[in-house]
Structure 1
Amino acid sequence: MLLPFASLPLCGQSVAITGKVVEAVQNTPVEFATVLLTSLDNDASLGGTTTGPDGSFALEAPHSRVRIQITFIGFAPRTLANFEQEGGTIDLGVVQLAQDQQTLEEVVVRAEKSQTVFKLDKRVFNVGKDLSSTGASALEILNNVPSVNVNIEGEIALRGSTGVQILINGKPSVLASEQGNALGTLTADMIERIEVITNPSAKYDAEGTSGIINIVLKKEERDGINGSVTLNTGWPHNHSLGLSLNRRTEKFNLFSQLGAGYRELPNDVRSTNQDLRSGNSLLSEGEEFRNENFYNFILGADYHINEANVLTLSGNFAYEIEDQPSATAFEFRDAAGQLLSAWERTESTQATNPKWQYELQYKKDFEDDEEHMLLFSALGSFFGKSQSSVFDNNTTVGDTSYASQQTRTDFKEAEYTFKLDYTRPVSEQFTIETGAQYVATDVSNDFAVSNLQDGLWANDPNFTNVFEYGQQVLGLYGTGGYEGGKWGLKVGLRLESTILNTLLATTQTANEQRFLNLFPSAHTSFKVTPALSFQAGYSRRVFRPRLWDLNPFFNIRNNFSIRTGNPELQPEFTDSYEVSAIYLLGQASLNFSLYHRYTTDVVERVATVADNVQTTTPQNIGTNQSTGLEANFKYSPKAWLSLNGDLNYNYFSRKGQLEGTSFNFDADQWSAKVTAKLKGPANIDFEITGHYRSSFQTVQSIVEDQVFADMGLRKKVLNGRGVINLSVRDLFASRVQESTAEQATFNLYNRRFRGRFITLGFSYGFGKGEAMEFSGQKRF
């Protein structure tokens, strides 16, 4: 726990006092222990400090007649006096702190609140009792972390950007996979801390620019059988049942999770395509659904070979059955607004999505230092989709010739990740890391379109194709870090070799791209006082085009608004700079970050209109320079009230052109989120969150602002074993997505609206388990 003590100015013949604080049983360093200095003559305070990551401390006294008291949560305090000095220096050597069971109640009170602290290259959110005892899921805990937001589908955003890498204990895991429903089954009491890395070092995969979230689980053992069960219902239909079981012995930890449910995701859509050359306009409005039955099963085991070696094997299987009914009404009008024709297009889609993932991990700890370790992990995953759709067109006004259509999709994706990491503390201050990672992705998408002609289905060769995609990425890295009591520095370099192949089977059009790139990183931190710390970092990142960015096939769900890929798309590279500060002031904590990103070959979706058909394709368009300021705060003025807030302002400058059209412009965007939490009587907790995102400009469009609110209510029952949850997403049904594009030859308007989501859930923990929440993530 950090206390706001600052060293007092000293004068006269001063004495330097140094020492190192360790835990008495295992002799591990005690970080952030409080060291207080008082006078033996009159008990006057002479200053104080806190210990560094290695447990060491240093301060100055005006003379040697001083008393030193060392305290830390959960340990008996130590008081030292009557020192012998040598040459104006008092070296206390190693000071051991013993755990004190009698202070347990005090420990619970003092450690009740979660808090954020800075480490060398990351921000660490320590999960306190205020969250770990609530029965909340990992998704709810993430919603309490500054800069992080989780939406209704379990999609996680960092600083408003999606595509965040989610790790469990520093590595990919079936629990954090997009292909599973398991992250919501991690309960708060299992989580020790959450590490937010907005500017990752060379140790991590260079892919992505949104950052990394690492969920670190507690190491505590719970012998016996533990478990919990949860039941959810909601509107629109959202019903699920989840069961978690855990069996621990001296050598084994067996864990399993089961989940099943049904949910509906309605979506109201509206669009207008206006061709300015002819004046004709096409208006469409309708409702789309994605209804889904889902089943999920996780089984895994940790085998403790001995105290230094652990082997983990786990697997996850999920199965989804989709039904996507939709109906869209179209109107075609001339320049005067006269209705020329109208028709309704209905869709009936069925799909099955099998998914599985498996993981093998080996971890070796070395006896000389708890940070000295070797970690190997192998992760494999598969996602399949077998889908068929029928689109019927019914003319209501005028004469149209739009035939009914049907599509067939056979999609398969396999990905394999092998990772080796080695961490070696060379000394108490210096640590080196090195490792390698190999990721292989293999995708095949067999897509066919047929038109109804004279009562028979005829294949349309213009839209039918097999697209194959393969990517292999080999990465090697090394980092070196120094972390003293107040200052630290970490530098690293990553080398990545990428081979990307695409094949359009029907035309035998192949495309191969090879890249060899260096990704340097540098991070530093400085603790000015126990209450004020600074952090700065630089890293180089890459965004590699995904399958749907490259695949040139057309999606005909709305054949007047088509999205297609670009097999010639190049990766975009970003140089990311960031300076951050954290300040602890009484019951408040403040975080400030100033960041700058320079991106080349920026990927943007560009729309063209011909005959009122809008086609959107990703293109590489120039550069983007983005400078932003982010501020986060947490304030607890009362024991029953807690406030959290995030503010992000971003100014960007775009430079680029495509086919003679300039896309140069400067613009800005800002967003804010404020959460108020109230602890009421009868074990009732209330939470409400307000969101605002300003309008912003893209290369062609203006995206309108959004304002909305989410609400939650929780009550503990059955002596805390049970938890009743009520959550309302988009409380006022105000979260509307609107964009407008006004170009020289066309105007476009698009609107999407999901609406309000209400969920009521009950969770119950048995054995030594805690009540949990089961939640499902969507694949796409």
Structure 2
Amino acid sequence: MQFYNNLCDKFQKRIQLLIYLSFILFSIVGLSQEKSISITGKVIESSTNQPIAFATVLIVDPSTSENINGTTTMDDGAFKLNSNISKFHIQFSFIGYKTKTLKDFEIKQGKVQLGTIFLEEDLEQLGEVIVEAEVSKTQFKLDKRIFNIGKDLSSTGASALEVLNNVPSVNVNIEGDISLRGSEGVQILINGKPSIIASDSGNALGTITADMMERVEVITNPSAKYDAEGTSGIINIILKKEERKGLNGSASLNIGTPINQSFGLSLNRRTEKFNLFSQLGVGYRKLPNDRNTINRDLTNNSTLTSEGTEFRNEKYYNIVLGTDYHINENNVITLSGNFAYEIEEQPSETRFNFIDDSENSNWRRTEETEATNPKYQYELQYKKDFEDHKDHMLIFSALGRFFGKEQSSDFNDETLSGTNRDAVQKTRTDFKEANHTFKFDYTKPYNEKFTLETGTQYVLNNVSNDFEVQDLINGVFVIDSNQTNVFEFIQNVLGVYGTIAYEGDKWGIKVGLRIENTDLETLLKNTNESNNQNYSNLFPSFHSSYKFSDNYSLQLGYSRRVYRPRLWDLNPFFNIRNNFNIRTGNPELRPEFTDSYELTNIYSLGKATFNFGVYYRYTTDAIERRISTFENNVNTFKPLNIGTTNATGIEFNGKYPVNKWLIFNGDFNYNLFNRQGDFNGTAIDFNANQWTGRLTSKIKLPAEIDFEVTGNYQSGTETVQGRVAENWFTDLGLRKKILKGKGVLNLSIRDVFASRVRESETIQETFYLFNKSQRGRFITFGFSYGFGKGEAMEYSGQRRRR
């Protein structure tokens, strides 16, 4: 009986549920059959009769006060939206203006034509906004610092480079070079991904203006979300969703000495659906490099010296084209491409002198090299933003690069005195490199405090280097088999990561794990020598922060990083420009791994910001870049894995705006390291230290003139085989705004005192080596003109980092 009663109860409940669902279904059908009502009009500022762009228009249910639908106005103030209910109010609002609500209007044939809607300024609200919300501020997060861009910058029309110059720990010099905590090895991302806009192929960042930017994220110790390959940090520029900004751009013309001539045109056109960007550039430059070497054989008491100047002369052409297509408010597709073509000439002349107990010889070696370098890259990205949370997103991206080089060189040795050293050589190089990166990233905030990130990345790198050396023997060119080969390099890296973060009002923690599998193959084709490596590694990360106050935060970070040998580290065939000092790669070189720990104190004292940190880094299979072997007065140097390195250091950087016309930006780094290992059967165990300092002063002079001077210093330090000398140099720049700020005259001088000299010594029992190189002073003068909201900026092509 009880079973029967239970069965009846269940049946009754299911009937009630069925009736309830049917009622909902019929209600939905009934609502869907209501006709949609179209609403149009234009929002105008009452005192000036100017259109108000991006004003908010909402359809409001009068009984519940809930928002039913909404939109924002166009550049001309016009709007259009639809309502699926017949009884509603229409609300208009914009920052700094009084909100206006319409309750009485006429519906004719399913249309509401409102005509012109006037909004009045709200002086009280406007005052509050200026005081509380319009100043750019830095916000501290778990593993990053966020610089939110306020009206003090976004209303000026400044470029992204100018904005970055206001971000703590970031410095942009007058030439546009970006550094983070004093180091230029920084990766620039746009909306969390690599982009052609931010690549070294040009300087298209100047086409992004401050009012297009929402915030800048600075990451000094990247989490497991990012590549395990080490960098000095990441700067991530987040753009606003609204893209209706019109035409922006700049044109630039530069001349300099040594010869440096270039012209660049950057354009950016933003509409409601599309963001079109492009850049054209052409130029010609000469890059001299003075070199001196000493090779001393201590066993045979002989000395070989060389002195000369090498040139790299380049003509280059560059074009960037791309677009962002906004399918709707939550879905964006980006497609862009870049093509560059370089024509190189590399003339050089080196004088040699050889002295021993029985000989004193002098000869001259000249080089004539010609090369063509085609380069191109592409970018494809799809981004989906979910409506439940502003940070809930999915991103798929593909980035590809290709670089080629066809080069031929002729070398001629001419005897000047002593033993006959006459010789003729020629080389041929056919180089091709293709790199493709595919990424999938997903971010899911579960609430305001918990966030999950996950994704995968696949990087494919394929390289072929066909290098041939020929010697003229008895009037016939004969291939030198010892220096000729085809080197092939294939490296594929598959990575998967996941992070989870909790962030409260004061304290937060973020943990992550990245798993990467590396498949590496190298092959010397002519000799069939191969080196295949397949290894998997775990890269954990941990970050925590505590906010003591709005002005002081403490951040703790740990991450495991890897440096995988590049092609030039592995390729045994490189160049014979100086055939007594030959650099080669090492196909058997292994990756080095670093565990990095960092504790940083972040202070904000008024307008000044200071960061003081301590760090510890432990590196295994540490790569020493120049390990020399010496035979017959020939120095052959290549990279080798030499043991481990323990480095402990302190770091300080700060930005202090003394007043409106004077800003100081300084960086200081000191580290004490211990090297342990084995080289040629001899144990290596030594302690050394090194410190670097950098101070930049930015001065605003009368007549809209900006003056900037930067001093750099790097101390000398001990190496496995010898010592590297100290290095110091000074750069300065001068900028004058003209044509109501749309035009800019630039003067930059790099290495003002021609003091940037690189010297190193190798000191061994059987030989001594000395190397010195210097590029000298570079002076560039340029004129730039910005139009639309574009900032006048310097275009200097694909800068070569010195």
Same fold by TM-score, threshold 0.5 exceeded? yes
1:422-437 to structure 2, matched below 5 A, reads 422-437=442-457
With normalisation by structure 2, the TM-score equals 0.81
1:333-732 to structure 2, matched below 5 A, reads 333-334=355-356, 340-604=360-624, 605-732=626-753
SS in structure 2 at match of 1:208: coil
Q: Distance in 2 between matches of 1:136 and 1:389?
A: 46
Match of 1:360, as an amino acid? L
Q: Distance in 1 between matches of 2:568 and 2:785?
A: 41
Whether contact under 8 Å (1:135, 1:773) holds in the other structure is: no
Deviation at 1:183, TM superposition (A): 5.0
Whether contact under 8 Å (1:316, 1:358) holds in the other structure is: yes
Match of 2:265, as an amino acid? L
Match of 2:773, as an amino acid? R
SS in structure 2 at match of 1:258: strand
Q: Which runs of 5+ in 1 are unaligned?
A: 1-23, 28-73, 78-98
Query: Out of 733, 754, 774, which is 1:753 matched to?
Result: 774
Task: Describe the superposition over 1:568-616 as per-residue Cα deviations: whole angstroms up to 9, x where unpaired.
Answer: 1111111000011111112321111111100000011311111111110
Q: Distance in 1 between matches of 2:56 and 2:500?
A: 30
Whether contact under 8 Å (1:254, 1:301) holds in the other structure is: yes
Deviation at 1:510, TM superposition (A): 1.5
SS in structure 1 at match of 2:481: coil
Identify which range, 163-172 or 366-375, moves more after superposition. 163-172
Whether contact under 8 Å (1:187, 1:771) holds in the other structure is: no
Q: Distance in 1 between matches of 2:580 and 2:514?
A: 45
SS in structure 2 at match of 1:656: strand
- Whichever of the two has the greater Rg, that structure is 2
Question: What is aligned with 1:307?
Answer: 329
Q: Distance in 2 between matches of 1:465 and 1:222?
A: 55
Q: Distance in 2 between matches of 1:26 and 1:427?
A: 28
777 and 195 in structure 1: CA distance in 2 versus 1, 3 angstrom threshold: farther
Match of 1:203, as an amino acid? K
Question: What is aligned with 2:267?
Answer: 245
Deviation at 1:758, TM superposition (A): 1.1
Q: Distance in 1 between matches of 2:798 and 2:666?
A: 26
Query: Out of 210, 217, 233, which is 1:211 matched to?
Result: 233
Deviation at 1:701, TM superposition (A): 2.4
Q: Distance in 1 between matches of 2:415 and 2:165?
A: 47
Match of 1:341, as an amino acid? S
Q: Distance in 2 between matches of 1:109 and 1:470?
A: 57
Match of 1:582, as an amino acid? I
402 and 714 in structure 1: CA distance in 2 versus 1, 3 angstrom threshold: same
Whether contact under 8 Å (2:206, 2:791) holds in the other structure is: no
Whether contact under 8 Å (2:439, 2:457) holds in the other structure is: yes
Q: Distance in 2 between matches of 1:685 and 1:251?
A: 38
Deviation at 1:383, TM superposition (A): 0.5
Paired residues, what number? 688
252 and 117 in structure 1: CA distance in 2 versus 1, 3 angstrom threshold: same
Q: Distance in 2 between matches of 1:695 and 1:410?
A: 38
Deviation at 1:153, TM superposition (A): 9.6
Between the two structures, name the one with larger relative contact order (CA 8 Å, sep ≥ 6): 1
Whether contact under 8 Å (1:138, 1:184) holds in the other structure is: yes
Question: What is aligned with 1:123?
Answer: 145
Question: What is aligned with 2:314?
Answer: 292
Task: Describe the superposition over 1:154-199 as per-residue Cα deviations: whole angstroms up to 9, x where unpaired.
Answer: 8766556665433222112122334x22456455635554433221
Whether contact under 8 Å (2:182, 2:694) holds in the other structure is: no
Deviation at 1:454, TM superposition (A): 2.3
Identify which range, 635-644 or 222-231, moves more after superposition. 222-231
Q: Distance in 1 between matches of 2:197 and 2:470?
A: 40
SS in structure 2 at match of 1:664: strand
Q: Distance in 2 between matches of 1:136 and 1:234?
A: 26
Question: What is aligned with 1:277?
Answer: 299
Identify which range, 434-443 or 700-709, moves more after superposition. 700-709
657 and 150 in structure 1: CA distance in 2 versus 1, 3 angstrom threshold: farther
Q: Distance in 2 between matches of 1:579 and 1:411?
A: 44
With normalisation by structure 1, the TM-score equals 0.83
Whether contact under 8 Å (2:96, 2:126) holds in the other structure is: no
Task: Describe the superposition over 1:751-774 as per-residue Cα deviations: whole angstroms up to 9, x where unpaired.
Answer: 111111111111112233332321
Deviation at 1:493, TM superposition (A): 0.5
SS in structure 1 at match of 2:768: strand
Tell me if 1:318 matches 2:340.
yes
1:192-203 to structure 2, matched below 5 A, reads 192-203=214-225
Deviation at 1:415, TM superposition (A): 0.7
340 and 298 in structure 1: CA distance in 2 versus 1, 3 angstrom threshold: same
SS in structure 2 at match of 1:175: helix
Q: Distance in 1 between matches of 2:158 and 2:683?
A: 50
775 and 101 in structure 1: CA distance in 2 versus 1, 3 angstrom threshold: farther
Deviation at 1:210, TM superposition (A): 3.0
SS in structure 2 at match of 1:687: strand
Task: Describe the superposition over 1:229-272 as per-residue Cα deviations: whole angstroms up to 9, x where unpaired.
Answer: 11111111111111112222221121111111111111111110
Whether contact under 8 Å (2:650, 2:669) holds in the other structure is: yes
Match of 1:588, as an amino acid? A
Task: Describe the superposition over 1:440-463 as per-residue Cα deviations: whole angstroms up to 9, x where unpaired.
Answer: 000000111111122332211111
329 and 152 in structure 1: CA distance in 2 versus 1, 3 angstrom threshold: farther
